[in-house]
Amino acid sequence: MNRISSVVLLLLLASLALILGLAVISLAQPSSGIGQLVNMQMSNSGVDHPVTAVLLNFRGYDTLLEMAVLLLAVIAVWSLGSRSSPQQTPSNHSNPILLALFRMLTPLMIVVAGYLLWVGAHAPGGAFQAGSILAAAGVLALLYDQRLAGRLSSWSLRFSLILGCAMFVAVATGVMLGGAHLLQYPLPWAGSLILLIELAATISIGLTLTALFYGTSTGERP
């Protein structure tokens, strides 16, 4: 790229930055926002933490679509891969630090994931955070021995991947049988339904992110 076009590009970007900065500053006036409204409706949501209530109840439709996006990403990554060949996968059994880390951290990570899932109802936490810790445990396992990916039978793997999205859709449409609208949880069951959805979502998210890592690191599909 020659000098003139790079100078022109810098000028254009600087003016864009100026315009966006002015727009952002004009938006930053203290205003009443929606936090007050959410706090008033918290008793109707079934959980005690506002972010979890927004994610799983008030804007549950967006989270449903996000689970579908994750599923779509796994399908796309797998469709670009080749059938896995069982022979040339290496294993890092000889690395003592990796072995020690794997044995100490993996059970700890599973416990931490379970705690984050449970505590998401009344403190920072929830399905996505817990699912990402499970994914970290999965990545550590794959780094230790890639053949571990073959241990999960293909049917149980695929079932667990769709479990989160399927459970969410099932609950979202199941409440319609009682006469409510889509995703309108009946109030006495809201907390337990949210926990059920989050449990399925945690397992799904952990496995999906691990599957994405597997697809990127080997280019194969299980």
Q: Which is nearer to other proteins, 80 or 180 (CB)?
A: 80
How many whole angstroms separate alpha carbon 172 and alpha carbon 58?
12
Burial class (CB in 10 A: 0-12, 13-18, 19+), 160: middle
Instruction: Pick out residues in 86-105 that bind other proteins (CB under 8 A).
Output: none
9 in contact with other proteins (CB under 8 A): yes
How many whole angstroms separate alpha carbon 206 and alpha carbon 128?
9
77 in contact with other proteins (CB under 8 A): yes
Among 6, 91, 95, 156, binds other proteins (CB under 8 A): 6
141 in contact with other proteins (CB under 8 A): no
Q: Which is nearer to other proteins, 81 or 191 (CB)?
A: 81
The secondary structure of 89-122 as a DSSP string is --B-TT-HHHHHHHHHHHHHHHHHHHHHHHHTTT
How many whole angstroms separate alpha carbon 144 and alpha carbon 108?
16
16 in contact with other proteins (CB under 8 A): yes
| Least spacing, CB of residue 5 vs other proteins, in Å | 10
Q: Are 157 and 56 in contact (CB under 8 A)?
A: no
175 in contact with other proteins (CB under 8 A): no
Rg of the chain over Cα atoms, rounded to whole angstroms, equals 22
205 in contact with other proteins (CB under 8 A): yes
128 in contact with other proteins (CB under 8 A): yes
Binding pattern for the stretch 33-72 against other proteins, x by CB under 8 A and - elsewhere: xxxx-xx----------xxxxxx--xx--xx--x--xx-x
| Least spacing, CB of residue 15 vs other proteins, in Å | 10
How many CB atoms are located within 10 Å of the residue 11 CB?
10
Among 47, 121, 126, 183, binds other proteins (CB under 8 A): 126
Length of the chain: 222
Residues pairing with 91 in the sheet: 145
Q: Which is nearer to other proteins, 131 or 175 (CB)?
A: 131
Residue ranges with strand state E in the chain: 82-83, 220-221
Cα–Cα distances (Å) from 57 to 81, 108, 119, 124, 128, in that order, read 36, 30, 17, 16, 15
- What residues make contact with other proteins under the rule CB under 8 A? 1, 6, 9-10, 13, 16-17, 20-21, 24-25, 27-36, 38-39, 50-55, 58-59, 62-63, 66, 69-70, 72-73, 76-77, 80-81, 116, 124-126, 128-129, 132-133, 135-136, 139, 205, 208-209, 212-213, 215-217, 219
